[in-house]
Amino acid sequence: MGSRTGLNLDYVTLAELEAARWAGVMGVATFNGARTAHGPPGLALDAAVPVAEVQTPVLCDSEGLCEVWRTQQKVEWGKHGSVRYARTSGMLFGCISVPESNDAPPAAAAEQTSLYCSTERAYGEILGTLDALGYAHLVRVWNYVAEINRDTHGSERYRQFNAARQAALLASGRPVTGNVSAACALGAAVGSPLVVYFLASQSAPSFVENPRQVSAYNYPPRYGARSPVFSRATVLHEPAGMTLFISGTASIVGHRTIHAGDAAAQTRETITNIEALLTEANRVTGTGEFTLESLACKVYVRDPSDLPVIQAELRAALGRAARLVYLQADICRRDLSVEIEATAMVDSTAAA
């Protein structure tokens, strides 16, 4: 585990999590069906710790995977509606799981589908929690949507999700362009609930866009009547240092997918996009500390048969010591084979 005094990220197995007895755990996301058995003596986590259970298989690891967010600051846990949260004096981690209802009629419009309603509810509760607790700024959001590429009611489910997310943000008076959180939206197992977990702050982060790409919130209508709402990256500022959150990044230049059908080339293009974001993040923050070597990466692979070539490209670019975890997931566009999200942390002494 890391030793910095600000926000920390660790990727561990469930066994490692339960053996570590870490103090200051703000939240956990589990993958591949790993479950934290809260309560019995000997386990690491208090029952109050928010846990997002994501039904997305882990590749290269049969033990499951836990993503652990923690801090050395004092943590207070609680629940607001259906949102479980942990907060410090300046930062909040939260998660919500919303099953989809079967109540929508077969001929429902996109605005009446079960996914639309679940997404609108999830974001309504998240934003209501932030308002009630006084954390004004969403910094990073993770969304896991069952069958994200399937068409229902005349629309792809990812587009239904985007429409509902944007509607909820607008209803709460929040922006849907410009200063919006970093985010990703990936597929999850058939029949699994919508799972959203997030980090928020009392102070505004810095927002970073990629000069090689059209901002997602400015995509043309061909990608849906309501654009995705996320920044390419954000930087959280804490007294202890900075955390860079790079959104789910793929082989997109401008607004178009390139190298369709070539997982190796898509991986290389994705790395080029991440390098561009690192350059911009360093420019925005006035530091040169954000580098490829500083990143912890979560790699989403659509087809597990592509994993060897994707791993080879990432080893060549990042080195064998890179912090990489691999998940099997459908990606927001059918012609994308790989998506990479990344996080990097810089202590205040390095950033000075």
Q: Report, in angstroms and rounded to the nearest whole number, the Rg of the chain calculated over CA atoms.
A: 19
Residue 308: both structure tokens together: 């060897």
CB 146 within 8 A of CB 118: no
Cα–Cα nearest to 201, from 133, 288, 285, 150: 133
Residue 96: both structure tokens together: 């919500």
CA atoms of 302 and 175, how far apart (whole Å): 31
Residue 303: both structure tokens together: 């087809």
The CA distances from residue 290 to 51, 159, 181, 342, in Å, are: 29, 33, 19, 11
Catalytic residue among 53, 125, 339, 341: 339
pLDDT for the residue numbered 2: 46
Give residue 298's identity as a one-letter amino acid code.
K
pLDDT for the residue numbered 19: 76
Does residue 201 sit in helix, strand or coil? Answer: strand
CA atoms of 66 and 58, how far apart (whole Å): 10
Ranges assigned E (strand) in 194-240: 194-201, 206-208, 233-238
Helices (H) and strands (E) in the chain, counts: 6, 21
CA atoms of 193 and 190, how far apart (whole Å): 9
Domains annotated for the chain, with CATH where assigned, are 8-351 (3.30.1330.40)
CA angle, corner 200, sides to 280 and 55, nearest 5? 95
Cα–Cα nearest to 218, from 200, 232, 205: 232
pLDDT for the residue numbered 15: 80
pLDDT for the residue numbered 88: 95
* Cβ contacts of 331 within 8 Å, gap of 6 or more: 148, 186, 187, 248, 250, 300, 302, 337, 338, 339
Q: What is the largest CA-CA distance in the chain?
A: 58
Catalytic annotation on 339?
yes
Q: What is the dihedral of CA 126, 129, 133, 137, to 10 degrees?
A: 20
Quick one: DSSP state of residue 259? S
Does residue 240 sit in helix, strand or coil? Answer: coil
CA atoms of 175 and 169, how far apart (whole Å): 7
Regions of the chain with pLDDT less than 50: 1-2, 37-43, 107, 352
